[in-house]
Chains A and B, each alone.
Chain A
Amino acid sequence: AQSVAQPEDQVNVAEGNPLTVKCTYSVSGNPYLFWYVQYPNRGLQFLLKYITGDNLVKGSYGFEAEFNKSQTSFHLKKPSALVSDSALYFCAVRDISGRYGGSQGNLIFGKGTKLSVKP
């Protein structure tokens, strides 16, 4: 079964420091990986995705993620954190094993990591 894990419930970072939010996955076949962010009282917003190609994926708001096949990880990173980056971050993997075949593509989400950036 395909799954995704976010090992940290919360990450605390000082403004201006680099940040990393961790994500590991388990899939059969090629992974389709996504990061979403949820600001307070808002819906989820897409940040970036890995489908194929370069292991370093760049996304919105200066975020990037590094795909590591050998470690089955897809960690979210940002070189310099902002207070406004404080939010809940979700990693997700596309489930391509469903009854409708590869096009089903339900997202399986991690439990989320709360990022807190202090001034």
Chain B
Amino acid sequence: EAQVTQNPRYLITVTGKKLTVTCSQNMNHEYMSWYRQDPGLGLRQIYYSMNVEVTDKGDVPEGYKVSRKEKRNFPLILESPSPNQTSLYFCASRADRVYNEQFFGPGTRLTVL
């Protein structure tokens, strides 16, 4: 089954404790992206990747890091999480054509205390 998976689905952590949210897709997609969803703000892009070793900032990259060492994986790293990073996070992927739709993961609900 074609899918985007994220882990963990739920995470409660404390300020400053480094964490990684994994994202993996099995569709051989070139493009991958991370979004955060907050009430009243819709989805905002954090980082995206056009292919292996090619990443770029989205609209809200501060406090986040990403890497793309393999085509299928695109982890999101919070080196020192803060309470304002409490949010619902989505990973997405698509094939490398501008008219292709994106496939989204199930989401990771992160709470930073």
A43 → B minimal CB distance (Å): 4
In this complex, how many residues of chain B approach chain A with their Cβ under 8 Å: the count is 28
> What is the interface of chain B mostly: helix, strand, loop, or mixed?
strand
Chain B residues in 8 Å Cβ range of A109: 35, 42-44
- The distance in angstroms between the C-alpha atoms of A20 and B98, with both chains bound, is 27
Does B74 reach chain A (CB closer than 8 Å)? no
Contact B104 A99 (CB under 8 A): no
Interface residues of B in 90-108 (CB under 8 A from A): 90, 92, 94, 96-99, 101-107
Contact of B45 among A32, A42, A106, A112 (CB under 8 A): A106
A112 CB to nearest chain B CB (Å): 5
Which residues of chain A in 66-111 are interfacial with respect to chain B, using CB atoms and an 8 Å cutoff? 90, 94, 96, 99-100, 102-107, 109-111
Residues of B within 8 A of A112 (CB): 42-43
Residues of chain B touching chain A, judged by Cβ–Cβ distance below 8 Å, are: 4, 31, 33, 35, 40-45, 48, 50, 56, 58, 90, 92, 94, 96-99, 101-107
Could you name 14 residue pairs across A and B whose Cβ atoms are closer than 8 Å?
Answer: A32-B98, A42-B106, A44-B43, A44-B92, A46-B102, A51-B99, A96-B98, A100-B56, A103-B50, A103-B96, A106-B58, A107-B102, A109-B43, A110-B42
- Which 4 residue pairs across A and B have the least CB separation, nearest first? A111-B42, A43-B104, A105-B98, A46-B101
